Amino acid sequence: MTYTKELISLTEVAKSLNKAPSTVWRWFRNGVKIRGQQIKLKAIQVGGNYFTNHDDLKQFLNDTNETSSKELRNETLKQTYLDNISCVLIDEIPELQMTKNTRDKISLAILTRIFETILRP
């Protein structure tokens, strides 16, 4: 397994798929039994954390029919945009002094408005 592509932590996988971290860990450690075959999520350990890449994750999800790669791509993209908007709020407007929950709600509202504007006919 070569990891020349961007790594994604198992925790990030859990968040992007709306799964419990323990579920994703179990996919890596024990795998999922499909038609008598054990299918595992490929991952590597870097320091104390475990990472996979998007290709291996998509392959695992396709093999186990957990979700479509389009759903994964959309959720990952959405989370990336939310994180970026949240960072801008922190970096550019530090005097707002808001909690992470509030910042996430504002980020989601901004992202929703952007996509509504872009997708509006």
Q: Within a domain: residue 1?
A: no
Q: What is the pTM of this model?
A: 0.51
Domain coverage including residue 109: 71-119
Residue 110 has pLDDT above 90, yes or no: no
The pLDDT tens digits for 44-91 are: 998 889 999 988 998 888 888 754 455 556 666 677 777 777 777 777
Q: Within a domain: residue 2?
A: no
Q: Within a domain: residue 21?
A: yes
> Are residue 12 and residue 48 in the same domain, yes or no?
yes
> Are residue 44 and residue 91 in the same domain, yes or no?
no
The pLDDT tens digits for 36-46 are: 788 899 999 98
Query: Whose structure tokens read 């859990």?
Result: 14
- 6: DSSP letter: P
d(CA 28, CA 51): 10
How distant is the alpha carbon of residue 66 from its chain centre? 14
**Residue 67: its pLDDT value, please?**
47
> Are residue 12 and residue 62 in the same domain, yes or no?
yes
Name the residue among 115, 85, 77 with its Cα closest to residue 103.
85
Packing angle between helix 69-92 and helix 54-64, nearest 10 degrees?
140
Q: How many structural domains compose the chain?
A: 2
